[in-house]
Structure 1
């Protein structure tokens, strides 16, 4: 099947290739969003509209990290102690050659000082200081050592987190300009769902993912498996939303109309990735309606896997996956080489039990991983994370587990 733009959808691509293409898609579409200015308490999950360079050195003055005496460490003892104490709230005083000044932790150093002698290592008699020999920089938090003026700290499009408020606040930046959130419309397809015979398990989960990634999601109901209605409803939503996310109808069955509809409305960038469960995802640009579409397969566990691995970079700007090491509790074989398998596991004291294995709380397969059945098994969502592998895994083998919170935020 050849879609709009001459793309051959029979050519599966790697899930990571798909994720990379989706991230590049974000780079093209993010600048189309409007901007707004928010305070530091509102930056979590927001994408910067423009880069941020350090407006000044941080710290602006060198500071003492100990209570003691500040002076120029290239000079020799004894040094004359000036009649002053320097505290964190003070402006840095000036001292002359051969002088030292008492200083508190966190206080700014005089411009000519470059070291601090700890109080317990110092001796003062008749106003003269002696003590341990020091190298310049001893017990000093040096000017600009944290951030140098003009340094590029945040890139345009970068997604901010709560911790970024610390550095921004230290720079004296109280508000930042961010892109508006993507406005996402969710549409479930399938006659069985439209008529209420099956529960729509995908849309609430997908809405939650979109919101946890920092964007707005609105459920727009269902359509039956009728081509004209599928196409017209997607077109309506594309006119209203930045992103349309559909569920179901992404395979190659007689009533799988979503891909045909996307081809008629725009360009399908790719259809199907080498990931099990979750293979039949499609991504499209609907340029005429200024929208992007993600067509997600209807089986809920597979839908979560492929959305959180392939679609996530569009909303978060990253495809990276943090992992923790664990030992596999059972052998798990694969049946079809050339695919990546997302094997759900539960974690217990460094051991990963494949949830779905006959010896786990959910018995779906003996030793050969069965993504088809597991993709529909709602109990599989009780896993703590998943192992992403292209080959079978042996019992007691050390594996890298992707905890679900990594892909859900």
Structure 2
């Protein structure tokens, strides 16, 4: 049985033997681990193939080349109100030209002292630099009068949105649905993007392989990968037998850009995954100073050029460490936008030197630690218990989590990372 799926998962108990390094390496600080994974993305990015994506399919895709504005936007100045266009450096009254300018019009030039009727979105005639909206205008005997108007009033000026040649998108940038608006305005119908990363998911553990325990991790990891713009394929299970673990990892790596394994990452007698990764390539780090989720490993595999993420088996810890450490490889970002709240209960910590991901529910600006005895999930009274909480599937009903390296006091201001931030 893979020991990091049950009870006191290796590295997640309150005992600190595994925290002193001994013969299984140093613990990498959380921020350093996330940055190393982001750097790994940069090192690997030139190996990824490029394809084109239409604007309706760019959300979540990574731009392969920079994009500069091909022309000024707008290409011509135009009116943002229905009214009258004229040169506002002159004074009222203006002689009204017997024409109307619509968005589809090719407007006439106007002479000094002249004005022309214009409608929202219509190009500004040569000789005009302002628009007087119709509600403020008075027209008598073909002459226009109205409120004082400065040059530029109700005018969307040429190049004021985008100047020709301006760098708007950088290579490696992850695009969102809103980016289709600007790209479409530039006249760009499709963009070069890197192919979606192919991820093979492999669950380890005899209890999983034999169907005695459900695999709760793989569907969750598939959702994370797809939310980050990748493609996830479930590649099945493998029992706790070293050669079979090693060979299955190698086989999955041959077919995918990324391998994600679950289970077998701790220091138990049958935790073979990290040993297999060392035999197949280079382990960049094993164990991150995060609770829950500590025993993650990140490796590159020699024969396949694949990247491997070995994820601990407890599902809540697996989600936390994958979202915080593996995410930068897919999104290129380590940023974690937060919302401000006040913690509702005292939360103690058992072992210093770790970052604790404390799940919380939000009610207005109050953050209740889900798992605290005062919450609907009573896992701990005061001292945060990452080991049990990591297995408590109800903890997924939290709205987000607080990252802290020290104890929290009731009423203390905290920064909550909402789950959607790390899932897209």
The TM-score normalised by the length of structure 1 is 0.95
Residues 1:12 and 2:27 are matched in the alignment: yes
Residue 312 (structure 2) aligns with: 297
1:277-304 deviations in Å (ceiling 9; x for gaps): 0111111111331211001111111000
Contact 1:329 1:395 in 2 (8 A): yes
Deviation at 1:350, TM superposition (A): 2.6
Contact 1:184 1:216 in 2 (8 A): yes
Distance (whole Å) between structure 2 residues aligned to residue 287 and residue 69 of structure 1: 70
Residues 1:358 and 2:373 are matched in the alignment: yes
Residue 3 (structure 1) aligns with: none
Distance (whole Å) between structure 2 residues aligned to residue 368 and residue 267 of structure 1: 37
1:188-237 deviations in Å (ceiling 9; x for gaps): 11122222222111111111111121211111111122221111111111
Residue 36 (structure 1) aligns with: 51
Give the alignment of 1:86-105 within 5 angstroms.
Answer: 86-105=101-120
Among 224, 232, 237, the residue aligned to 1:222: 237
Residue 178 (structure 1) aligns with: 193
Note the residue ranges of structure 2 that are not aligned, 5 or more in a row: 1-22
Contact 1:9 1:272 in 2 (8 A): no
Residue 336 (structure 2) aligns with: 321
Among 47, 66, 70, the residue aligned to 1:55: 70
Distance (whole Å) between structure 1 residues aligned to residue 111 and residue 213 of structure 2: 84
Contact 1:9 1:270 in 2 (8 A): no
Among 195, 220, 224, the residue aligned to 1:205: 220
Residue 132 (structure 1) aligns with: 147
Residue 284 (structure 1) aligns with: 299
1:224-260 deviations in Å (ceiling 9; x for gaps): 2222111111111111111000111111222221111
Runs of 4+ with deviation above 6 angstroms: none
Residue 110 (structure 1) aligns with: 125
Root mean square deviation of aligned Cα: 1.5
The TM-score normalised by the length of structure 2 is 0.91
Deviation at 1:10, TM superposition (A): 2.1
Residue 382 (structure 2) aligns with: 367
Distance (whole Å) between structure 2 residues aligned to residue 143 and residue 207 of structure 1: 46
Moved more, 82-91 or 296-305: 82-91
Residue 4 (structure 1) aligns with: none
Residue 323 (structure 2) aligns with: 308
Residues 1:168 and 2:186 are matched in the alignment: no
Among 90, 98, 118, the residue aligned to 1:75: 90
Deviation at 1:9, TM superposition (A): 6.0
Residue 402 (structure 1) aligns with: 417
Distance (whole Å) between structure 1 residues aligned to residue 41 and residue 106 of structure 2: 47
Among 21, 25, 32, the residue aligned to 2:40: 25
1:320-356 deviations in Å (ceiling 9; x for gaps): 1122222211111111222111101112233211111
Note the residue ranges of structure 1 that are not aligned, 5 or more in a row: 1-7
1:147-174 deviations in Å (ceiling 9; x for gaps): 1111111111211111111111111111
Task: Tell me the secondary structure at the aligned position of residue 365 of structure 1.
Answer: coil
Deviation at 1:182, TM superposition (A): 0.7
Distance (whole Å) between structure 1 residues aligned to residue 104 and residue 415 of structure 2: 49
Moved more, 355-364 or 33-42: 33-42
Residues 1:264 and 2:264 are matched in the alignment: no
Residue 247 (structure 1) aligns with: 262
Distance (whole Å) between structure 2 residues aligned to residue 135 and residue 118 of structure 1: 12
Deviation at 1:28, TM superposition (A): 2.1
